[in-house]
Amino acid sequence: MTELPDRRLLLVHAHPDDESINNGATMARYAAEGVRVTLVTCTLGEHGEVIPPELRHLTGTELGEHRLGELTAAMRELGVEDFRLLGGRGRYEDSGMMGIADNDDPASLWQADVDRAARELVEVILEVRPQVLVTYDPDGGYGHPDHIQAHRIAMRAAELAVDAGWEIPKVYWNRVPRTAADEAFARLQADLPGLPFGKAATVADVPGVVADDRITTVIDGTAHAAAKAAAMRAHATQIEVAEPYFVLSNELAQPLFTTEYYELVRGEPGSRPESDLFAGLTSPEAS
């Protein structure tokens, strides 16, 4: 069997760009430390709204292929070499926002059989043998069907992997503490007149905001802020960056968090709060 790095991190996301927005600093930090960072993206984001006017002709499959190129560029910026599409290229399509006709497309992720998709993810888990899994909470952070489905698939795969021979010691959900969000938006309001963005989002627009006491783990990515911003810029169809802020297609400015926050939902914390996703893991679990 090929020898694996001592530490291995698996992230499961819905679309290209989600990984850079939610976990870019974390991914860059661990990649720089020699951790094997593996990203599984569930769709190519074929129904994303395109920001640059010169790229708005891209739709459907053509947009998905373009976004795969953006994902590839973003991974270069983060130093991540192992990134994959769940079930292979084109296996699952973007479902669009909740409540639209695209949700009913049999090819959409929202219509996927969770157990079957989870078994496809188990194949990756058995190959990589991660000690840490990162994904969304049950609401997908903000209710997007693909985010919800990515959560379901990731959590089910973690269960199925146990019987298949690998138990992931620690599972985390992406979070943002309310206090940090409130403080960041206060700074945004003060800085807004000098930004190229006309309006600000609100804390309610940020996925995964919870009470501070839900946060178990704080990853200081300050040293990797430039890599995160560069990765986000690589997703040019979806994101416009003016550090330390950015906008999506709604043109509402929001903070670019370089400290990233997590809630440990399976496994034992190494401390409270943790400053390392691998905190508390013993050598047998790293084998």
18 has binding-site annotation: yes
- 282: confidence class by pLDDT, cuts 50, 70, 90: confident
- The answer on pLDDT for 186 being more than 50 is yes
Average pLDDT over residues 263-287: 84
Residue 186 lies in a domain: no
Average pLDDT over residues 71-76: 98
Residue 72 lies in a domain: yes
Residue 190 lies in a domain: no
Alpha-carbon torsion (225, 36, 15, 146), positive or negative: negative
Residue 33: give its domain's CATH number.
3.40.50.10320
- The answer on pLDDT for 144 being more than 80 is yes
- 2: confidence class by pLDDT, cuts 50, 70, 90: low
Distance CA 57, CA 259 (A): 35
- The percentage of the chain sitting over the pLDDT mark of 90, rounded to a whole number, equals 94
Using DSSP, how many helices (H) and how many strands (E) does the chain show?
6, 12
Q: Is 97 exposed, middle or buried (0-12, 13-18, 19+ CB in 10 A)?
A: middle
Residue 191 lies in a domain: no
Residue 229 lies in a domain: no
102 has binding-site annotation: no
User: Per DSSP, which regions of 1-159 are E strands?
Assistant: 8-13, 36-41, 82-85, 132-135
84-102: pLDDT as tens digits: 999 999 899 999 999 999 9
Q: Please give the helix or strand (H or E) that residue 104 lies within, else none.
A: none
Residue 182 lies in a domain: no
- The percentage of the chain sitting over the pLDDT mark of 70, rounded to a whole number, equals 97
User: What is the pLDDT at residue 58?
Assistant: 97
15 has binding-site annotation: yes
Residue 239 lies in a domain: no
Higher pLDDT, 185 or 282: 185
Residue 281 lies in a domain: no
Average pLDDT over residues 44-53: 97
- Which residues are within 8 A (CB) of 129 and not within 5 positions of it... i.e. 6 or more apart? 4, 8, 166
Domain span at 74: 8-176+207-221+260-266
Residue with the two structure tokens 């609100």: 202
Number of domains in the chain: 1
